[in-house]
Amino acid sequence: MSDEGVSAWKDQSVQDLIETVQRFIRTEVVAHRETWERQRYVDRSVWRKAGELGLLCCSIPEEYGGGGGTIAHEFAICEVQGTALDTSWGNMVHSGIVAHYILAYGTEEQKRAWLPVMATGEVIAAIAMTEPGAGSDLQAVRTKASVEGDDLVIDGSKTFISNGHNAELVLVVAKTDANAGARGISLILLDTRDAPGFSRGRILDKIGQHGADTSELSFEGVRVPRASILGGEPGAGFRQLMTQLAQERLLVATTAVGAMETALRETLEHVRQRRVFGQSLYNFQNTRFVLAETATTARIARTFLDSCIERHLAGNLDASTAAMAKWWLTEQHVRVVDGCLQLHGGYGYMREYPIGRMHQDARVQKIYGGANEIMKELVARSL
Ligand SMILES: Cc1cc2nc3c(=O)[nH]c(=O)nc-3n(C[C@H](O)[C@H](O)[C@H](O)COP(=O)(O)OP(=O)(O)OC[C@H]3O[C@@H](n4cnc5c(N)ncnc54)[C@H](O)[C@@H]3O)c2cc1C
């Protein structure tokens, strides 16, 4: 299978990291996949091991305990996870999302309190936006954080929270002023180790991504110091979310491209060895056309992703283009995997075949990180 060579954003340090991550995913993640899929969460030990290898928060400055790299290093880790079909280890949320909220908006004290322990894996992080009554419409969140003296008292519930079962740090989206609309939303750093009234509900039973913990969280009179508001600025949460979400969308898009390339490789291997009607499945024109279409889609996807990542690294990726990348690449991801599964016949429907697993795991890509319809709204608004 020919390709266009190494993406320009993968400099030597990114390429070195990719090799380490590939090894790590093979030996420390994929090796435990069945256990984690049964229990529906990853063991905490994987976070510690990742921390020891410098794989956590590798895009956070060294002065805060991180690896001193750039966000390209996080994209690279996501891509390796996508390629290796790992959807269980929630590092994207931890290092690619929560750590960057803290770095971008946290007070010096918040950065020093949280980033070093996130980099070692002592603390696992989650972000809790979604509620039973508020997903796409973030302004509709009902979780509130009421001011009582020097404290905030949090009441409400969240659902679908990645890393929710394991997290010591939850970045909670809550209303500090119920009458101020988007300007009443704040992001609150909650230390779950010291939070009477905080509880974890079910680990949800998903149709795919079984090793990833996706949990319900509940807050009943949870008291935190007012200084726990991210950046110490009440009412800044919605603006902070809107600014950071573009990066989150690109991280999701990166896993989609890695997975598409793996789907193509897996399918090529299968059709070359599978014989039907006395010949290789590869020889049928339909097979060749599907493969040609898949290879073309994967190439365009890679080219678009690379251009988005390069623009993001240069600081000039607009929110609309990030939304385009999220909806289009995840749409292609699901479509490509479905076409590739078809060429596997019944074997494709078996989870022991990578393509079967990919099919189940891919579907949510069009929903989380902002539903694709919301992405199209963002694009349309910018035209
Ligand atoms: C596996 C998984 C992991 C997740 N991890 C996290 C996490 O870590 N933290 C977190 O906060 N959330 C998380 N989520 C939640 C996720 O971000 C939401 O599910 C998503 O934003 C959609 O919200 P919703 O499910 O409430 O759907 P709804 O908002 O009810 O939307 C349902 C559907 O309606 C359509 N729709 C909605 N609005 C519009 C519109 N304006 N125009 C046209 N169509 C529209 C879309 O098709 C959408 O899919 C996760 C979800 C899953 C499944």
Q: Are 170 and 161 in contact (CB under 8 A)?
A: yes
Q: In angstroms, rounded to a whole number, what is the distance separating the alpha carbons of residues 47 and 90?
A: 9
Q: What's domain 12-123's architecture?
A: Orthogonal Bundle (1.10)
- Ligand 1 cavity residues, CB under 6 Å: 93, 126-130, 135-136, 160-162, 206, 209, 214, 364, 367-368, 370-371, 373-374, 377
- 126-233 has which CATH code? 2.40.110.10
What residue spans define the domains of the chain?
Answer: 12-123, 126-233, 239-381
- Determine the pLDDT at residue 2: 47
Choose among 254, 212, 223, 244: nearest CA to 138: 244
Which atom number of ligand 1 is nearest to the Cα of residue 93?
A: 8
Mutate to test the pocket of ligand 1, among 88, 95, 127, 136 (most ligand atoms within 8 A of CB): 136
Q: In angstroms, rounded to a whole number, what is the distance separating the alpha carbons of residues 33 and 24?
A: 13
User: Per-residue pLDDT for the chain (383 aa), expressed as one digit of tens each?
Assistant: 545 678 999 999 999 999 999 999 999 999 999 999 999 999 999 999 999 999 999 999 999 999 999 999 999 999 999 999 999 999 999 999 999 999 999 999 999 999 999 999 999 999 999 999 999 999 999 999 999 999 999 999 999 999 999 999 999 999 999 999 999 999 999 999 989 999 999 999 999 999 999 999 999 999 999 999 999 989 999 999 999 988 999 999 999 999 999 999 999 999 999 999 999 999 999 999 999 999 999 999 999 999 999 999 999 999 999 999 999 999 999 999 999 999 999 999 999 999 999 999 999 999 999 999 999 999 999 99
Catalytic-labelled residue, pool 28, 248, 261, 266: 248
User: Ligand 1 centre and the CA of 370: distance in Å?
Assistant: 6
Which atom number of ligand 1 is nearest to the Cα of residue 162?
A: 8
Write out the DSSP string of 153-188. Answer: EEEEEEEEEETTTT-SEEEEEEES-TTSGGGGEEEE
Amino acid, single-letter form, for residue 135: G
Which atom number of ligand 1 is nearest to the Cα of residue 364?
A: 53
User: Ligand 1 centre and the CA of 84: distance in Å?
Assistant: 25
User: Ligand 1 centre and the CA of 368: distance in Å?
Assistant: 6
Residue nearest to atom 40 of ligand 1 (CA): 374
User: Ligand 1 centre and the CA of 192: distance in Å?
Assistant: 25
Name every residue whose Cβ is closer than 8 Å to that of residue 153 and which is 6 or more positions away in sequence.
Answer: 145, 146, 221, 222, 223
User: Ligand 1 centre and the CA of 135: distance in Å?
Assistant: 5
DSSP 212: S
Q: At the fourth CATH level, which superfamily is domain 239-381? A: Butyryl-CoA Dehydrogenase, subunit A, domain 3 (1.20.140.10)
Residue nearest to atom 43 of ligand 1 (CA): 373
Residue 293 annotated as catalytic: no
Do 12-123 and 126-233 share a fold?
no
Name every residue whose Cβ is closer than 8 Å to that of residue 339 and which is 6 or more positions away in sequence.
Answer: 290, 293, 294
Residue nearest to atom 45 of ligand 1 (CA): 373
User: Ligand 1 centre and the CA of 326: distance in Å?
Assistant: 14
Name every residue whose Cβ is closer than 8 Å to that of residue 355 and which is 6 or more positions away in sequence.
Answer: 263, 266, 267, 270, 337, 340, 341, 344, 348
Q: In angstroms, rounded to a whole number, what is the distance separating the alpha carbons of residues 345 and 131?
A: 39
